[in-house]
Copies of this chain bind each other. A is one copy, B any other.
């Protein structure tokens, strides 16, 4: 057994405490696998006195997080503080600049500053690893960057946010509306007090931007992710999707397509209708799943717990085992200089089947107005459903749900532009694509 890998841990929330618990529970096994022990040397968190159910006495305490990066007795710094900027970013910069190996679960920071940090890591010849940042405990970064390394990846997509998936599958099984399920999810700990980043799709977009870079060898481009969340999904949408043989899932999807002879990076996070026969349809609750399609391997699927202290700690420590073993690859699989700055694709050219839900005033001529706009924009309608409502509710808006044939998204956008401002519509239409 050679010298231990000595680590400093910033952040002792559920994940940080989970890492310490994991190293205590499985330390011997991990040392045998890694060929050397992984030893926590120093820790830092906001509140030293807080009871975390773990004994911090064996570890040096630093009040100042950046001091962790300066310690001479530390080989690797683990950042579990969160936030795209601020102290986490300062620590990352300090640690890497100081030649420390660096491990993080911070998707926001990698999505925003991954290129800068990877450059720094390369210059210093140290690791920048973030398996826990995408899909929790699932080794999908490794699966893509190493397991599928022989392939040109043609598409990557998946369920990247456990909170949204929990909410959507609860809506499915209970028939309840979004707001009620969100409240329950918050009480059960599946959603945070401020759930914005989750339910608006931002968290999934962070993860998708990271996956894209690894899959396609493109520069990380979080700003290029076309993102929408699940807040507008209603119980009626779930029921309609069900009647159409689909479930609704928040899916991140990315590929590279040529437009006018140039490669363009398409990245989108959006609720979609997933055919019940598709493997993603069976992914329920807070589970995550990522599909990668390679030109030789075909379709690979990785599934597991997308969050939680145990799974996230598992991914963090897997990175540390790699470092202890000396298995270190470029942070985004290719050297930073080889990552191509690829302009975002024009979503209007995407060809899809779409689900469009209109909320309309219940008066004559509304259907004619909508279908005329579709005709004029060249949208081909596969099916249309209008449900009436009880007679005593005559002033309430009614839903019209349409499924289109395969067609360019620009055509639907044109049709909806024609209908914009129409008094027939009581709210903006909701468009979701179908995959299957």
**Interface, chain A (partner B; CB < 8 A):** 18, 22, 25-26, 29-30, 32-35, 131, 137-139, 142-143, 145-152, 217, 279, 282, 294-305, 308, 310-311, 313-318, 320-322, 325-329, 333-335, 338
A159 CB to nearest chain B CB (Å): 13
List of B residues within 8 angstroms of A29 by Cβ = 152, 217
Q: Name 5 A/B residue pairs within 8 A (Cβ), A-sorted.
A: A32-B334, A139-B143, A142-B143, A150-B320, A298-B308
Chain B residues with Cβ under 8 A from A316's Cβ?
A: 150
Taking A149-B318, A299-B305 as known contacts, 13 extra A-B pairs with beta carbons closer than 8 A to each other, sorted by chain A number, are A32-B334, A32-B338, A139-B147, A139-B148, A143-B143, A146-B318, A146-B322, A148-B314, A149-B317, A298-B304, A298-B305, A301-B301, A301-B302
**A145 (CB) vs chain B CBs: closest residue:** B33
- B32 and A327 contact, CB distance less than 8 A: no
Q: Measured between alpha carbons, how far is A30 from B152 in the docked complex, in Å? A: 9
Q: Let me know if B150 and A139 touch, CB within 8 A.
A: no
> Known interface pairs A147-B143, A329-B325. Does A26 touch B152 (Cβ–Cβ under 8 Å)?
yes
Q: Which residue of B lies closest to A150 (CB)?
A: B317
CB neighbours of A35 from chain B (8 A): 335
Bound: A310/B2 CA distance, A: 40
If the complex has contacts A295-B26, A304-B300, are A321 and B149 also in contact, measured as CB distance less than 8 A?
yes
Q: Which of B148, B296, B310 contacts A18 (CB 8 A)?
A: B296
Nearest opposing residue in chain B for A321, CB measure:
B149
Report the copy number of this chain in the oligomer: 2
Given contacts A152-B29, A282-B279, A314-B148, contact A298 B137 (CB under 8 A): yes
In the complex, the answer to whether A34 meets B149 with C-beta atoms within 8 Å is: yes
Question: Knowing A18-B296, A33-B333 touch, does A150 contact B318 (C-beta < 8 A)?
Answer: yes
Cα separation A315 to B151 with both chains bound (whole Å): 10
- Which single residue of chain B is at the shortest CB-CB distance from A279? B282
Give complex CA distance A47, B299 in Å. 33
Please measure, in the bound complex, the distance between the C-alpha atom of A25 and the C-alpha atom of B30, giving whole angstroms. Answer: 38
B301 touching A297, Cβ below 8 Å? no
Known contacts A302-B301, A329-B325: does B282 contact A314 (CB below 8 Å)?
A: no
Give Cα distance in the complex from A325 to B142, angstroms. Answer: 14
Q: Is the CB of B334 within 8 A of A314?
A: no
Please name all residues of chain B whose beta carbon is closer than 8 Å to the beta carbon of A25 when the two chains form the complex. 152, 295-296
Also in contact, A297 and B314, with CB within 8 A (given A29-B217, A33-B333): yes
In this complex, what residue of B is CB-closest to A139?
B147
Chain B residues with Cβ below 8 Å from A308 are: 298
Interchain CB contact (< 8 A) of A138 among B282, B300, B321:
B300
A315 CB contacts on chain B under 8 angstroms: 150, 297
- How many Å lie between the Cα of A305 and that of B304 in the bound state? 19
A319, closest chain B residue (CB): B150
